Amino acid sequence: MVGILGKMFRVFNVAGLSREARAGDRRPLQLQINEAKRQLEVAQQSGHPDPGSILVHIDQMTGLLLDRNQQAQDLEKRGQMDAAVALYESNIDDMFDGSLPYERLIDFYTQQGAKEDAERVARACLVHCTSGVSEQLRARCLSTLELVPGLEDPTHDGQ
């Protein structure tokens, strides 16, 4: 559903480093962040004198994910939805642990009639989002996936 301009925008500019370009680590960013947090805990428990480099690495990776969301919101405000979708999709590819890209993409794909894409994003949301996800969003994902018969989408009035 993403137009060619959105794909080009993602490839050439704002999505940040692709998994292939990141220091040989092809895992999604959220998995890398989680691993770095575990390393930080071990370093702190063992009395490591300077876990600062680990903190900087976590901040850089987290910053990239948050910057994508901010850029996508800015692009939406300017009516550049293809580019915004590409950024939100990048965060989903990187297993972002927050609700914004999932909510925005479910809205977008539902409005476009792209049921398969909306379902893909809803599944990803249920799997990847472990913090800060409202019960309303979880219910919406289940409704999108039609896993709860008769459950109405709580964020829309049926239009």
Per-residue pLDDT tens digits for 29-54 = 988 988 988 988 888 888 776 777 88
Look at residue 48 in the predicted model and tell me its pLDDT.
72
Look at residue 9 in the predicted model and tell me its pLDDT.
47
Cα separation, 84 vs 92, whole angstroms: 13
Its pTM stands at 0.72
* Radius of gyration, CA atoms only, the chain: 17
Report residue 115's pLDDT band, with 50, 70 and 90 as the boundaries.
very high
Q: How distant, in Å, are the alpha carbons of 72, 99, 143 from that of 104?
A: 10, 9, 16
Instruction: Pick the more confident residue, 77 or 10.
Output: 77
Look at residue 19 in the predicted model and tell me its pLDDT.
43
Report residue 93's pLDDT band, with 50, 70 and 90 as the boundaries.
very high
Report residue 26's pLDDT band, with 50, 70 and 90 as the boundaries.
confident
Cα separation, 36 vs 150, whole angstroms: 42
Q: Is the model's pLDDT at 86 over the cut of 80? A: yes
Look at residue 21 in the predicted model and tell me its pLDDT.
43
Q: Which two tokens stand for residue 53?
A: 């480099």
Residue type, 67: D
